[in-house]
Structure 1
Amino acid sequence: MADRTLIDSGKFAMEFAESVSKKDVDNSKILDEAKKYLLSYLTAYYLIEDFNKIENTNFNSTDEKKFKDLSFNELMARVKQLNRY
């Protein structure tokens, strides 16, 4: 089974409450707003997790140059390859 994703509920709730307080949200819509906020959070979280896995695969390979040794043009070519996914 994959690693579990645990969210600090207090921190998440505080950040959500702060974001809602900056908008004029009808009290009857708060649950829907919380679901949208959680969906946005999880989407961003898993997107960056996927990016990190691809980045580690592409830049930490032993048979290729290390990230620090790539020229700018080589780096740009590598990024273009990543954008195909």
Structure 2
Amino acid sequence: MCDGANRLSRQLPFDVLFADKRAMSSGLQLADLVARPIGLSVLKPEQTNKAFTVLKKKFNCDGGRDCVGSGYEGMGLKIYPPVESEKPR
């Protein structure tokens, strides 16, 4: 992206900045809180996951506010790489 491979086709002046682990980043703490329930919903969809039940209402949905909690796959929740099978790679 910074080398010009972006939609503007020009170099961007961004540098990678690593913060100290003791920096107490609230954004990173929030990411840590939501990552596990989302990951478990993908890896073990049959397992009860109360945290994900709450989180899925927060994702951007295909039908807007009328479809809160559904239609978020591929829109508000994108999984990379796509889950093809449960076989080890």
Check whether TM > 0.5.
Answer: no
Normalising by structure 2, report the TM-score.
0.25
More helix by share: 1
Q: TM-score, normalised by structure 1?
A: 0.26
